[in-house]
Amino acid sequence: MGAESKRTIIVTGVTKGLGRALADRFAERGHTVVGCGRTAAAIDQLLSQFDETHHFSVVDVGSDESVQGWAEQVLAEYGAPDLLINNAAVINENAPLWEISAEEFNRLTAININGVANVIRRFAPAMIERGSGVIINLSSGWGRATSADVAPYCASKWAIEGLTLALAQELPAGMAAVPLNPGIVNTDMLQSCFGQSANHYSDAEQWSAAAADFILNITAEDNGRQLTAPS
């Protein structure tokens, strides 16, 4: 399916950062964006800015029950998505692993790992039944390398790489699962770990100009490939 085809695209973590920028780019290209985020005020803002073609909901992807209710509503209204982008993620405050509380670690993995599995669990069966669709799980440079003081985040993104590559082996022909490293982008998340140095990198709006088209051109032929978005 080429980039020119109009598609239904699900984006988690749509209220800010990469998810928000991608929502703008996809909508500009005529695609239908179905997104979720945890902040009600931010979701309300999206609902006021986008026309009724699109759909935004308050969802905690770390809760399978929350994802299930959202998925049932979305599938009933839009059917199986053509493109499913698991973008929602958080990062720990910079600290050595032994200084990070169990609560913070568990919350991070609930969103970054369990959240991806929850969304796939609730949407992939409909995509499989139709026999087509692309699942993109946002990874990170820290899903293929490591750094001090972000061990929980590294662990979660290495998990996403493995989870996605295994999923790629399970999907039927005509579908794809891809781990996508977005590269280094100046977002709130990068600011939290890079500080002022984050300002040396492109912001999400600049990044999304090329990244959106790159994502739209991922096809079943890319199944199982570890991809990196253009900088």
Catalytically active residues, by annotation:
153
Query: Cα-flanking dihedrals φ and ψ of residue 96, to 5°?
Result: -60, 150
Nearest to 11 by CA among 45, 207, 31: 31
Give CA–CA dist 231/134, Å, rounded.
22
The per-residue DSSP string of 108-129 comes to HHIIIIIHHHHHHHHHHHHHHH
| Number of continuous H segments (helices) and E segments (strands) in the chain | 8, 7
Give the sign of the dihedral formed by CA 29, CA 130, CA 182, CA 231: negative
Give CA–CA dist 33/26, Å, rounded.
7
Would you give the DSSP letter of residue 16?
A: S
